[in-house]
Amino acid sequence: MKIVILGSGNVAYHLAKAFSEKGISLDQIFGRNEKDLKEISDAFDVPYSTKVLKSADFYIVAVSDDYVNEVSKMITAENCLVAHTSGSLPVAVLEGNYRKASFYPLQTFSKSKNLKYSEIPFFVEADNAADLHFLENLAQNISPHVMASDFEKRKYIHLTAVFACNFVNHLYARAKEISDAQNIPFHYFIPLIQETTAKIKEIDPKFAQTGPAIRGDERVLKVHEDLLTDEEHLKIYRTMNDSIKEMYEL
């Protein structure tokens, strides 16, 4: 089975690394950014090119959503399987006379951050049973957490991930703005963040909620609001507390 990854960003890098660690051979990394391609090539001993796309049985289009359609048109082979890695695009965005699929790893990727690939869920979709079976087996070589998922389900998976990851990380960034403004080292909050994350592995997040809003402590809420001179911070604080009160009918 000849496999080619198109792309040189964070997802492409980590897929190449995961495949390398599991002894899954890649025939090529293809893209436009030669510097990033060479980094992947040198790290995982994979041939790369910016000009000639190799013939393969399976192509993984691991580029940002805005470029999936454009990049998919570069694949001219007909007797092959092509999958994108997006959580928010249908397989129909792939444009070519080949079999279309999705190979979606649910994780936030940064090249500088090591990951345990065996803990990453993979959501796969294909037009026929044979291709779906292939994708499931390929993903299971990396992680035991593999689920077949059509686009309708995948859209909700991606939406949930934005709430659980992107929004939460944004709150960390806003929290750091507050601590930085008061010269409080942010690393003092890391144990609290780690405990909060660890707790939801054992307790439903709804039942793990703590803080002044769920306690109905209006005095503390008012004290906090008076401290927030930044309008954006105040808006976020009120929005989050209102959401907590609504969830718990307070």
Residue 235 sits in a domain whose CATH number is 1.10.1040.20
Q: How far apart are CA 167 and CA 48, in angstroms?
A: 35
What pLDDT is attached to residue 91?
97
Q: What is the mean pLDDT of residues 235-247?
A: 97
Q: Is 190 left (phi over 0), alpha (psi -120 to 50) or beta?
A: alpha
Q: List Cα–Cα distances, 167 to 34, 150, 181, 200, 210, in angstroms.
A: 33, 25, 21, 17, 18
Q: Are residues 128 and 192 in the same domain?
A: no
- Among the residue ranges 105-119, 143-157, 209-223, the one predicted with the least confidence is 105-119
Mean pLDDT of the chain: 96
State whether 112 and 166 are in the same domain. no
**pLDDT score recorded for residue 113:** 86
**Residue 80: enclosing H or E segment and its boundaries?**
none
Q: Are residues 12 and 107 in the same domain?
A: yes
Q: Under DSSP, is residue 175 helix (H, G, I), strand (E, B) or coil?
A: helix
SS3 81: strand
Among 149, 178, 200, residue at a domain's last position: 149
Where among 94, 116, 149 does a domain terminate?
A: 149
Domain that holds residue 77: 3-149
For residues 163 and 133, membership in a common domain is answered with: no
Same domain (yes/no): 116, 194: no
Instruction: Report CA 246 to chain centroid distance, whole Å.
Output: 29
| pLDDT confidence band for 157 (50 / 70 / 90) | very high
pLDDT tens digits along 65-84: 999 999 999 999 888 999 99
- The answer to whether residues 166 and 224 belong to one domain is yes
Looking at the structure, do residues 191 and 218 belong to the same domain, yes or no? yes
To the nearest whole percent, how much of the chain has pLDDT over 70?
A: 100
Q: Are residues 127 and 214 in the same domain?
A: no
CATH number for the domain that contains residue 19: 3.40.50.720
Residues 79 and 101 in one domain: yes
| 134 shares a domain with 239 | no
E strands, 108-190, are: 122-126, 146-148
Give the pLDDT confidence score for residue 112 in this predicted structure.
83
Looking at the structure, do residues 26 and 129 belong to the same domain, yes or no? Answer: yes
Show which of 149, 183, 204 is a domain's final residue. Answer: 149
User: Could you give the number of structural domains in the chain?
Assistant: 2
User: How does strand 99-105 pair with strand 122-126?
Assistant: antiparallel
> Does one domain contain both 179 and 105?
no
Q: What is the pLDDT of residues 15-45, one digit of tens each?
A: 999 999 999 999 999 999 999 999 999 999 9
